[in-house]
Amino acid sequence: MEEEASKTLHINEFETMFRRNHQFLCAVAMQYVHDQFTAEDMVQDFFIDFWQRRNTIQLTTSFEAYARRAVKYKCIDFLRKSAVTEKRNLMLAVLEKEQEDADELENNEIRHQRYTKIVELIQKLPESRQNIFIMHAVDKMSYAEIAKKQNISINTVKTQLSRAYSALRNHLILICISFIHYQSIFKFILEKK
C-alpha cells in the first residue's frame, strides 16, 4: 500500500503518514543534531521534499526506512554545512582579532612616537619656560601657584605658557605637514609601480 501511496499520494494519506511518523523521525534527527527545534526543522524539510517529489519517488523499502534514511542524510548535510559556517565564522573572528591587535599595536606605537616627539619638543624649550609648562600641564598647578613657586608675576606665567604652547603647536604643525608630504611621496611611488 505504501509503495502505491507514493505514486498516487493524496493529502489525507500524506497527513496520516506525517502524524504516524513525525515523532519517530524527530527522535532520529535528535540523535544527530541534538537540538529539538533543528530536529523538527529537518523532519519538516523531509516531509516538504517528499510531498513535492511524491510522484517521482519510487519506494523500494518501507516508508519508515526510507524516511529514516532521508532524515539522517538531511541531518548529516545540515551538520556539514554548519561545521563549514562555524569554521568560517571562527576564522573570521580570529582574523578580526588579529587585525584589532595589529591596529592597537600600531596605535600604541603612534602614541608612543607622538609622546616621544612632544617630550623632545618640551626639552627644547628654554629651561624656565619648560619648568612653567611642566608645572601647569603635568602637575596641574594654577597660574598663581606657579607664580608663587617661581617668584614671578602671573602675567609672566601666562606669557611663558603662551609661548610654550605656541612653540609646541608650530613644531607639531611642521611634523604633520612633513608626514602628509611623506605620505604623498610614498603614494606616488606606489602608483608608479
Which CATH number do you get for residue 45?
A: 1.10.1740.10
Which helix (H) or strand (E) element contains residue 192? helix 154-192
Q: For residue 7, what are the contacts with CB-CB under 8 A and spacing of at least 6?
A: 55
Angle value at C-alpha 23, between 21 and 29, nearest 5 degrees: 100
* pLDDT reading at 16 higher than 80: yes
Judgement on whether residues 81 and 129 belong to the same structural domain of the protein: no
| Residue recorded with cell 606605537 | 109
| Residue recorded with cell 529537518 | 42
74, part of any domain: yes
How many of the other CB atoms lie within 10 Å of CB of 168?
18
Single out the residue in 88, 117, 148 at which a domain terminates.
88
Average pLDDT rounded to a whole number, residues 95-107: 80
| pLDDT per position as a tens digit, 110-167 | 777 877 887 888 888 899 998 988 888 888 889 999 999 999 999 999 999 899 888 8
* pLDDT reading at 181 higher than 70: no
93, part of any domain: no
How many structural domains is the chain composed of? 2
Could you give the residue ranges of the DSSP H alpha helices within the chain?
2-7, 11-33, 36-52, 63-124, 127-137, 143-150, 154-192
